[in-house]
Amino acid sequence: MTISDQPDPFWNRAYRDGSSPFGKPSEEVVRLAAGDRELIAKGARILVAGCGDGRHALYLAKEGFVVDAFDISPDAVAHVRANATPGLHLRAWQADLDGVELADQYDWVIAHGMLHMVPDPARDKAMARLRAQTHPGGIHVVAVFTDTIPPPPDLAPLHVALFSEGELFEQYRAAGWELLETRSYVLEDEHPGGIRHRHPINKLVARAPAPALP
Ligand SMILES: C[S@@+](CC[C@H](N)C(=O)[O-])C[C@H]1O[C@@H](n2cnc3c(N)ncnc32)[C@H](O)[C@@H]1O
């Protein structure tokens, strides 16, 4: 069963209502965009996979970055487009991470809270592809849910590819990426309609290997 066979998850209803179910951009994204450690150049080219309501894509486009954002949900894409002001360098389109067409190499890729919904083996293949489409020295910010707490019943049918604790970090390490930050924590989440969830999360900020010196 894939995500498109599922009944509407709560976030699609929120996208249609015009509300933002996931709040503000994540702290790591804000820090990196503000020039923390000078990892991201102004005007960098960014890909946001599974962009949802656009909390990262819209924020980064407003900060002057060039942003590509896609989501499997047409409601998400409609929400992002409706909230994009003229003049932003922001392209939003509907696509499944498994098979999405990407024309570019990116400086920064964000995949926040979505990879555990892409069934294996597509999940790891897609992650390898995202790494391959990142410039040397480019940055990934990735947050995934792990299986250390059983998923909430309303989301269990969607959380088909939960990571084991540390699996995300190991995957990037094995690919030769530098792990700049790793976090493992439990998110106590409350969404519109009083929906409460506890999500065990692994999150990283990682840098792509620089090209070998001649
Ligand atoms: C929990 S929401 C998080 C949204 C956003 N990344 C954020 O952090 O605010 C997960 C999003 O991933 C999208 N999604 C799930 N599976 C996907 C897939 N295979 N390809 C693209 N987007 C997907 C969903 O439609 C949803 O908008």
What does the pLDDT look like over 133-189, one tens digit per residue?
999 999 999 999 999 999 998 899 999 999 999 999 999 999 999 999 999 999 998
Query: Is 142's C-beta closer than 6 angstroms to any atom of ligand 1?
Result: no
Q: What is the mean pLDDT of residues 114-130?
A: 97
User: How far does residue 157's CA lie from ligand 1's centre (Å)?
Assistant: 14
Residue 2 in tokens: 């894939």
- Global pTM value: 0.95
| Token pair 């590509």: residue | 68
Domain spanning 1-113, CATH class:
alpha beta
Distance 212 CA to ligand 1 centre (A): 35
Which residue has 């498109």 as its token pair?
A: 4
pLDDT-derived band at 20 (thresholds 50, 70, 90) equals confident
Pocket test for ligand 1, best of 10, 24, 114, 187 (most atoms within 8 A of CB): 114
Gap between the Cα atoms of 15 and 176, Å rounded: 37
| Closest protein CA for atom 25 of ligand 1 | 73
Domain regions of the chain by residue span = 1-113
Of 6-10, 24-28, 115-119, 127-131, the range with the lowest mean pLDDT is: 6-10
Confidence of residue 195 (pLDDT cuts 50, 70, 90): confident
Listed residue (142, 149, 147) closest to 168, CA to CA: 142
Ligand 1 centre to CA of 114 (Å) is 5
Q: CA–CA separation, 132 vs 128, rounded Å?
A: 6
Does the Cβ of 117 fall within 6 Å of ligand 1? yes
Mutate to test the pocket of ligand 1, among 5, 48, 72 (most ligand atoms within 8 A of CB): 72
- Distances from the Cα of 167 to the Cα of 117, 124, 179, angstroms: 15, 11, 13
Region of residue 32 (phi > 0: left; psi between -120 and 50: alpha; otherwise: beta): alpha
Residue 2 has pLDDT above 60, yes or no: no
Q: Which of 77, 101, 117, 155 to probe ligand 1 with, by most ligand atoms within 8 A of CB?
A: 117
- What's the chain look like in SS3? CCHHHCCCCHHHHHHHHCCCCCCCCCHHHHHHHCCHHHCCCCCCEEEEECCCCCCCHHHHHHCCCEEEEEECCHHHHHHHHHHCCCCCCEEEEECCCCCCCCCCCEEEEEEECCHHHCCCCHHHHHHHHHHHCEEEEEEEEEEEEECCCCCCCCCCCCCCCCECCCHHHHHHHHCCCEEEEEEEEEEEEEECCCEEEEEEEEEEEEECCCCCCC
Q: Is the minimum distance from the CB of 118 to ligand 1 under 6 angstroms?
A: yes
- The Å distance, Cα 96 to ligand 1 centre, comes to 9
Question: Is residue 110 within 6 Å of ligand 1 at its C-beta?
Answer: no
Taking the mean position of all CA atoms in its chain, how far away is CA 212? 28
- Alpha-carbon distance of 174 to 16, in angstroms, equals 40
Is residue 11 within 6 Å of ligand 1 at its C-beta?
yes
